[in-house]
Amino acid sequence: MLSYDTCLNRFLSYLHEIRGYSANTLEAYGRDLLQFRDYCREYYSEPEIDIKKIDKLTLRHFLGKLSEEGQSAKTIARKLAALKSLFKFAMRNEWIEKNPAYAIRSPKLPSKLPVFITQEQMRALFRSIPADTFIHSRDKALVDLIYSTGMRLNELVQLNIMDLNTHGNTVSVVGKGDKQRVLPVGTETMKSLEAYLTFRREKYGSYETYSPLFISKQNKRISPRDVQYRIEKIIRAFSEGARKNSPHVLRHSFATHLLENGADLQAVRSLLGHSSLSTTQIYTHVNTGRLKDVYRQAHPRAGRQNKPHNKNGGHDES
C-alpha cells in the first residue's frame, strides 16, 4: 500500500527539486492537499489512506463540501487543480491505475479584469512619495522598480545587488520555474534606485555584490510581507478610495500602460514572464477606450463630422 501522505511528500519534493517551485507555491499546494487528506480521513474513517482507494466520488463529495461552505469558484478550482496534478504525478509513477480527478470539470470562473492605476494617477503617486530618508527612498524604489519592470513580488525580494546593471539599465530576475529574464529599467527608476543605495551606504556602510538589493531596517533581506505592507500603505495614503492596493496592482498597471501606448502584446508577455500569450491577453481590455477614440476619429460611420466639401462639390482629397 502507498499512503496518500507518502504520495504527497514525494509530489512536493518533485515540485521543489525538479520543477523548482518557490516556497510560497509549495506551501499553497501543501495546504490544499492536506485539507483533502484531512477530509479523506473523516470520509473513510481511517487515519492512513491508501492512494488507490480514492475515487471520483470522494473528490466530488469533497468539492461539494467546499461549495456548501461558501468557498469561491476560484478557490475550489485551485484546490481541484492541485489534486489533478497530484494524481497525474501518481499515475506517471504507476502508483494508481486511473486518475480519479481527470474527468472532473473545474467550476466556471467569472471573468475579472485586472485592477490598475491610470497613468496620470501613477505620476501623481510618484510625486506624493517622499525620498528623504533610508526607508522613504527604499519604499519609493520598491514601487518604482515594480512599476518600471512589471516584475512579481517574489521576484523583487529575491534580487541581489549583482542583478542590477546600472550601466546597461537592466535587471536580471528569476521567475516561475527558475526561468531567468533580463528586464529594461527606466532612467527615472534607476535614479530612484541609486538614491536608495546612497542612503543605504550612509546608514549601513558598503555591501557585497551578492547582498540583497532591498533590505529591512535590520539590514536583512526584506520579506514579501513587508513589501506588501509598505506598498499598500503608500497607495492607501495616496488614494483612500483605491479599490485595490497590493503590489500586483503595480504589475497590472505596468502591462496596462504599455498596451495603452501601443506596445506589442508578445513583447509585454515576455516582460511579464508569462509562459502563454493567453495569460497576457486579459490586459487587452485596456485598449477599449483608446480604440473607441481612434474609431470615432477615423471611421466614416462613427458619427464624426464630415470633411468639408471642395468647390467642385466633392470631398477634399487627402
The percentage of the chain sitting over the pLDDT mark of 90, rounded to a whole number, equals: 56
Query: Does residue 79 carry a catalytic annotation?
Result: no
Q: Could you read off the pLDDT of 194-215 as tens digits, one per residue?
A: 999 999 999 999 999 999 999 9
Query: Does residue 152 carry a catalytic annotation?
Result: yes
Residue 109 binned pLDDT confidence (cut-offs 50, 70, 90)? low
Catalytic residue among 37, 152, 200, 252: 152
Res 80: pLDDT: 94
Catalytic residue among 53, 181, 248, 285: 248
Query: Does residue 61 carry a catalytic annotation?
Result: no
Res 19: pLDDT: 86
Q: Could you read off the pLDDT of 140-155 as tens digits, one per residue?
A: 999 999 999 999 999 9
Secondary structure of 243-274 in HEC code, one letter for each residue: CCCCHHHHHHHHHHHHHHCCCCHHHHHHHHCC
CB 210 within 8 A of CB 160: yes
Residue 293 binned pLDDT confidence (cut-offs 50, 70, 90)? low
Spell out the alpha helix ranges (H) of the chain: 4-17, 23-44, 56-68, 73-92, 119-128, 134-149, 153-157, 187-204, 224-238, 247-260, 265-272, 277-280, 287-298
pLDDT at residue 312 tops 80 = no
Res 277: pLDDT: 76
Query: Does residue 274 carry a catalytic annotation?
Result: yes
Residue 244 binned pLDDT confidence (cut-offs 50, 70, 90)? low
Residue 28 binned pLDDT confidence (cut-offs 50, 70, 90)? very high
Res 278: pLDDT: 72
Res 316: pLDDT: 44
Mean pLDDT of 4-21: 93
263 φ/ψ angles, rounded to the nearest 5 degrees: -65, 150
- Report the mean per-residue pLDDT for the chain: 86
Domains of the chain with CATH codes = 4-92 (1.10.150), 119-293 (1.10.443.10)
Catalytic residue among 140, 251, 252, 257: 251
Res 313: pLDDT: 45
Q: Which amino acid is at 37?
A: R
Mean pLDDT of 20-47: 92
Residue 53 binned pLDDT confidence (cut-offs 50, 70, 90)? very high
Q: Could you read off the pLDDT of 86-103 as tens digits, one per residue?
A: 999 999 999 999 999 988
Res 311: pLDDT: 46
Distances from the Cα of 24 to the Cα of 7, 15, 20, 102, 145, angstroms: 20, 12, 12, 26, 22
Res 178: pLDDT: 81
pLDDT at residue 27 tops 90 = yes
- SS3 (DSSP) at 137: helix
Res 304: pLDDT: 55
Residue 9 binned pLDDT confidence (cut-offs 50, 70, 90)? very high
pLDDT at residue 318 tops 60 = no
Rounded Cα distance, 257 and 116, in Å: 9
Query: Does residue 43 carry a catalytic annotation?
Result: no
Q: Could you read off the pLDDT of 74-86 as tens digits, one per residue?
A: 899 999 999 999 9
Catalytic residue among 56, 181, 274, 285: 274
Rounded Cα distance, 280 and 270, in Å: 9
Mean pLDDT of 275-287: 70
Query: Does residue 220 carry a catalytic annotation?
Result: no
Rounded Cα distance, 115 and 109, in Å: 17
Catalytic residue among 16, 52, 176, 221: 176
